[in-house]
Amino acid sequence: MKNIKILLLPVLLFAGTLFAQQTPAAKQTTPVTIVGATAHIGNGEMIKNSLIILEDGKIRTITDASSTKMPYRGTVIEAKGKHVYPGFIAPNSTLGLVEIDAVRQSDDEDELGEMLPHVRSVVAYNAESHVVESMRPNGVLIGQITPRGGRISGTSSIVQFDAWNWEDAVLKENDGLHINWPNTVRRGRWWEGEERGIKPNDKYEGHVRDLSDFFKNAKAYLAGPREKTNLPFEAMKEVFEGNKRLYFHADAEKEIIDLLAFIKEHSLKNVVLVGGYDAYKIADQLKANNIAVLVGRVHDTPNLEDQDYDLPYKMAHLLNEKGVLVGLETSGDMERMNSRNLPFYAGTVIAFGADKEEALKMITSNTAKILGVDDQMGTLEVGKDATLFISEGDALDMRTNKVTKAFIQGRDISLESHQTNLAKRYSEKYDTQTE
């Protein structure tokens, strides 16, 4: 038995190194100076020869290196010919809520029920997810962790991607409530004998009415004596006070128009449209109502045969031209794994009409504004979190984006992941075979 225990110990140690996530970086204790890189501020501006000083987890200096004699401090990183970007932000994400779709025990994105404003997704967030750590090598350092399912899915929170647990990860807890607007159409349920294909949803008006009744009942409850606690209604308090954002997930033109009427009826503030496939058709109305849009995945195909083949590619640009505040989100099939492609979605937006720095804003400063955290992140500005990265090339181009250094709140984080470890392992295998 003693020999078995001795043999098991190295096996367990090896398993730990194979399956555990990289150890989170320690708190910043020494200043870091980055010199010579082209700094993409994230607000549309650039500094071609920049001097950036990070200290105590914050950006303390960012200026043109050629126009200052400011002394360097702490660790100096010579970055001439490279590029510095704010950490990219992935909104409306289920990262950390599901690890393996086929393993039920690792799936925490949905709860039973329809009206669930009291559900908090962040408590189910797995900071040690292998999928989460694979975001960092592409510069995706922050995410909005969002529940799915039901009519009201629950509350999202904003986290950084280098942490021991959800408490360490959270940057803004319970930032907003997510509501799935009813669909105007539905697919025939062939397994119940219905004709296949898309048809009008004859229950649409009833579903909208149910949602409206929930809002009215919650207001009535909060205005009353509250003799018996109702958790879903209690969770609506901050929504009605305007302290919590409302993220409505809707796509069709009629759905969005009805949603605008719903917002007006219930005097709702801080509203964001998520998905918004037909939003470009009523962009002027969205602009007039100050509704920002988190545009659905760029790398997609049109929904209908008579639509432009490149509609998903240029949709963000069409809205941006109309003055709508636009961010990019990545939900859909394989959304957690595909979230690492967020910068390349922005690159596609450039290819289909957008200015390069405008597209960058859609995954940095615009998204930070939409999520209500632009005082902390989204741009390279003095006083904001030192959450940024250095790339050898254009971070929005998959051919040239090679992240060499990344910092979250000034902490020099690891860029290693399960995937980079496998890449090195098999590179060595083939190098050995060719000798």
- As given in the structure block, the two tokens for residue 290 are 């100050």
Please give the average per-residue pLDDT across 302-314, as a whole number: 92
Same domain, 170 and 284: yes
Per residue in 181-218, pLDDT (tens digit) is 999 988 776 676 777 778 888 899 999 999 999 999 99
Helix (H) or strand (E) holding 130: helix 130-133
288 φ, ψ to 5°?
-65, -30
| pLDDT tens digits, one per residue of 417-426 | 888 888 888 8
Query: Do 401 and 420 fall within a single domain?
Result: yes
pLDDT at residue 3 in the model:
52
Residue 309 is given by DSSP the state T
Question: What pLDDT shows up at residue 4?
Answer: 47
**pLDDT tens string 71-127:** 999 999 999 999 999 999 999 999 999 888 777 777 787 888 899 999 999 999 999
Closest CA to 340 of 125, 97, 86, 95: 95
- Range in 74-83, 140-149, 179-188, 250-259 the model is least confident about: 179-188
- Within a domain: 12: no
Query: CATH number for the domain including 408?
Result: 2.30.40.10
Structural domain containing residue 354: 88-377
Under 8 Å between Cβ of 116 and 179:
no
Angstrom distances, CA of residue 32 to CA of 55, 375, 382, 387, 390: 7, 22, 14, 12, 13
* Residue 102 and residue 38 share a domain: no
Helix crossing, 204-223 with 253-265: angle to 10°? 20
Write down the pLDDT at residue 13. Answer: 41
125 to each of 121, 142, 146, 244, 340, how far by Cα in Å? 7, 13, 10, 20, 18
Residue 9 included in any domain: no
DSSP string for residues in 231-280: HHHHTTHHHHTT-SEEEEEE-SHHHHHHHHHHHHHTT--SEEEEE-TTGG
Mean pLDDT score, 296-324: 94
Domain count for the chain, please give it. Answer: 2
Q: Provide the 10 A C-beta neighbour count for residue 193.
A: 7
pLDDT at 7: 46
Whether the predicted model's global pTM rises above the 0.75 cut: yes
Q: Residue 282 sits in a domain of what CATH number? A: 3.20.20.140
Residue 192 pLDDT: 66
Q: Are residues 253 and 395 in the same domain?
A: no
- Residues 179, 116: one domain? yes
Query: Which of 377, 400, 420 is the last residue before a domain boundary?
Result: 377
323 with 402, same domain: the answer is: no
Alpha-carbon gap, residue 189 to 194, rounded angstroms: 5
In this structure, the answer to whether residues 76 and 119 fall within a common structural domain is no
Same domain for 426 and 330: no
Distance in angstroms (rounded) separating the CA atoms of residues 188 and 193 = 9
Same domain, 130 and 56: no
Per-residue pLDDT at 18: 44
